[in-house]
Amino acid sequence: MEKIYDLVVIGGGLAGVCGAISARRNGLSVIIIQDRPVFGGNASSEIRVNIGGACGGLSPNAWARETGIICELFLEERKRNFAPYRNSFINSNFDIVLYEFLRNEGVDILLDTSARKAIMKKHDLIEGVLCIQLGSEKEFVVKGKYFLDASGDGTIAYSAGAEFRIGRESRYEFNESLAPEKEDMGIMGNSLLFLVRDAGRPVKFTPPSWIVKYKKDDITLKLRRHDYLPGYWWIEVGFPYDTIYENEDIKHNLISHVLGVWDHLKNEGEHGFENYVIEWIGMVPGKRESRRFAGDYILNENDVKERKIFPDAIAYGGWFIDLHTPGGILAKEDFPEPSQSGKIEEIEKRIVYIYTIPFRCIYSKNIKNLVMAGRNISVTHVALGTTRVMGTCALIGQAAGTAISICKKYGIFPSDIYPSRIKELQQKLLKDGCFIPGIKNEDKSDILRDSKVNASSHRMLKMEKSDSEAHLCIAIGQKLPLKGKIEDIAVKVRAKRDTFLKFHLRESYDLWDFSSRKDIICRKIKVRKGENIVKIRINREFKEGIYWFFFDENENVYLMESLSQFPGLSKIFRCREKWRFDKRKNIWFEIRPPLFPFQPENIISGVSRPERWTNVWISEDGFPQWVEFVFKEKRKIGMVQFMFDAAINLEYNEIPPFFVPDQIPSHYTISLKSGNRWIKVVEVKDNTSYFCRHKFKPETAERLKIEIFKTNGSRYVSIYEARAYCS
């Protein structure tokens, strides 16, 4: 009999792959249809764009890299791959990781298969998709109950008649400051990347006659950075071409530009590429923008900038509003993206902090059994500038796949989930390793939630001194956790002459909030010329939370920095009116009395990353370390899961080859106590995963203990979350 899948996923980019895996893990029968030989979409070895997310870009957010399935996939790639992670260097390792995961999970796979047309059961219900397979001369229909269009262009959604938008909205439609005066078709274009290699000796390049010639003083390239190894994202062709229907014309055009730019680097002036040869040129244009399908809500610039709190939040973003100049490289005398001019005001207009994406943006408002994920969701052109990065697309994919498992469970459509079942969806996503700002673990079946937690040790917040300094030529400060009575905070400064420092301490809603204009403490402190430890009198009780202090600019002062990294802490600085994170550093400070913000109870705080608190248990140095959960009464336990430290403060392209986050425990045991007897139920050796789920024969117990004997390199252990279930 013809198979009818619970979920048919169209498109094997990161949104589609994460959607398929999440649906399958939640018990659905799933098939994924991908029109090319490999998975990964723009992040595949065919296009080679590096993943970006809320932790990266022009103004990276601290402690914000995505967890969930994308984190599992990405860390697996980093563990195996020898190559750095950046544009053009992406090789087949990621393709094969994606393929392996899908296959291991039991997702049915159709590669080289293009989904061409939706077969409709009714005008608002899809029954199947007509597919054409390359290399086999087959044409067939894949049937399903629900459909996830993650194809970028939304081929199936479009053919089903799903409502969509294309182009740029006018400034007035959503009151968006970054939108043009009048609506138009100036969307972002397609690009080809390329890779070059040092041949060890000078090599000539003779260009074909049809390249686009870029002379030595060409203005186009003056406005485009090319002082680093290609590929260059700005070799982009868009408007007036149509990014869907004229994709092939764009491709030929792009090849002329790629070789034209290479000719410039080799033959027009000194660029340092004499010894370099082309190793690879992309032949599949990477796309950025086309159709955006309408859900019951359209996310816009103000929502993301104001960090609007959506009750149906299912994912988050944080990349800047990255909107390219219409036309791309055809707009010869413009910067390819306005903030490339380096003007602070252009950067400032585009910065966003962590914001949420509502569920109402990821299902079609008029086709009942259709969800979308990736760049085709219900957002304005301006909001797409931030939601389009692949870390964010992957989270949306995971949410879409999980949502369909809820639809199947209750026999409902996606639009029925909000409001009545949204909490169930959010809780499921948290359980599966995702983070949703503002949403806590409220899963009643998690046995650890109301347990008492003890641990072998927990770490004091102590910043190591360093040799580096931050010049107070702009306002500089620090995000940090505070709790209980604080007497004073000390910082180390070097002053060029006797001067005054102005100190402010403020509350924040969460780590990424800078909205408060009200000082809790404001002090003017006299500083003598030379090096000084400056103590700022606080003398105040704090409720547990993330706060920020900063000093007003003072040209004569340098603040000592610390290279110590702790979850929830980050150096910050102000450029004009906007605060930004300097994730690699902290200001050196000392708090009196000492602060212990990494207590074992953080493991059951309900939040699995720094947000309104550190939300992590960090032990002192040395092994073994243990953490124990004491239950109020005996409970049956058959499954335990952990969220270890996935190095979420590092952005994707900062993660080196052969990398495993060093705080992940490699050797640990799980034991249960019943009466006077401890039973070891799990022992793991050589673990490298940040998200671990262990199922075992259920036992009744009054205590659960995890004992860690070794990590992947760190001298201490850190755990963000542990949960336990009956099965």
Residues forming contacts to ligand FAD in the complex (CB under 6 A) are 10-15, 33-36, 41-42, 49-52, 114-115, 150-153, 155, 191, 193, 233, 286-288, 374-375, 388-390, 393
Shortest separation between residue 193's beta carbon and ligand FAD, angstroms: 6
Backbone angles phi, psi at 603, to 5 degrees: -65, -25
Shortest separation between residue 661's beta carbon and ligand FAD, angstroms: 21
Contact 667, 693 (CB under 8 A): no
Burial 179-204 (b: 16+ CB within 10 A, else e): bbeebeebbbbbbbbbbbeeeeeeee
Shortest separation between residue 281's beta carbon and ligand FAD, angstroms: 13
Contact 77, 93 (CB under 8 A): yes
Q: Read off the tokens for 162.
A: 């799903």
Shortest separation between residue 309's beta carbon and ligand FAD, angstroms: 25
Shortest separation between residue 433's beta carbon and ligand FAD, angstroms: 19
Contact 148, 373 (CB under 8 A): yes
Shortest separation between residue 55's beta carbon and ligand FAD, angstroms: 11
In eight-state DSSP terms, residue 386 is H
Contact 204, 318 (CB under 8 A): no
The whole-angstrom separation of Cα 548 and Cα 557 is 19
Name the residue nearer to ligand FAD (CB basis): 377 or 455.
Answer: 377
Shortest separation between residue 584's beta carbon and ligand FAD, angstroms: 19
Name the residue nearer to ligand FAD (CB basis): 109 or 490.
Answer: 109
Shortest separation between residue 386's beta carbon and ligand FAD, angstroms: 11
Q: Which H helix or E strand runs over 502? A: strand 499-507
Name the residue nearer to ligand FAD (CB basis): 133 or 666.
Answer: 133
Name the residue nearer to ligand FAD (CB basis): 114 or 687.
Answer: 114
Shortest separation between residue 17's beta carbon and ligand FAD, angstroms: 8
Name the residue nearer to ligand FAD (CB basis): 26 or 34.
Answer: 34
Burial 109-131 (b: 16+ CB within 10 A, else e): bbbebbbebbeeeeebbbbbbbb
Q: Read off the tokens for 74.
A: 């990405």
Shortest separation between residue 718's beta carbon and ligand FAD, angstroms: 27
Shortest separation between residue 150's beta carbon and ligand FAD, angstroms: 5
The whole-angstrom separation of Cα 422 and Cα 403 is 9
Which residue has 């003007």 as its token pair? 343
In eight-state DSSP terms, residue 50 is P
Contact 144, 8 (CB under 8 A): yes
Name the residue nearer to ligand FAD (CB basis): 130 or 211.
Answer: 130
Backbone angles phi, psi at 293, to 5 degrees: -85, 140
**In angstroms, how far is the first alpha carbon of the chain from the final one?**
34
Name the residue nearer to ligand FAD (CB basis): 153 or 552.
Answer: 153
Name the residue nearer to ligand FAD (CB basis): 299 or 643.
Answer: 299
Beta strands in 92-155 (DSSP E): 108-110, 113-122, 125-133, 138-149
Contact 113, 9 (CB under 8 A): no
The whole-angstrom separation of Cα 642 and Cα 105 is 20
Q: Read off the tokens for 24.
A: 């399958």
Residue 419 has, within 13 A of its CA and on its CB side, a CA count of 2
Name the residue nearer to ligand FAD (CB basis): 25 or 288.
Answer: 288
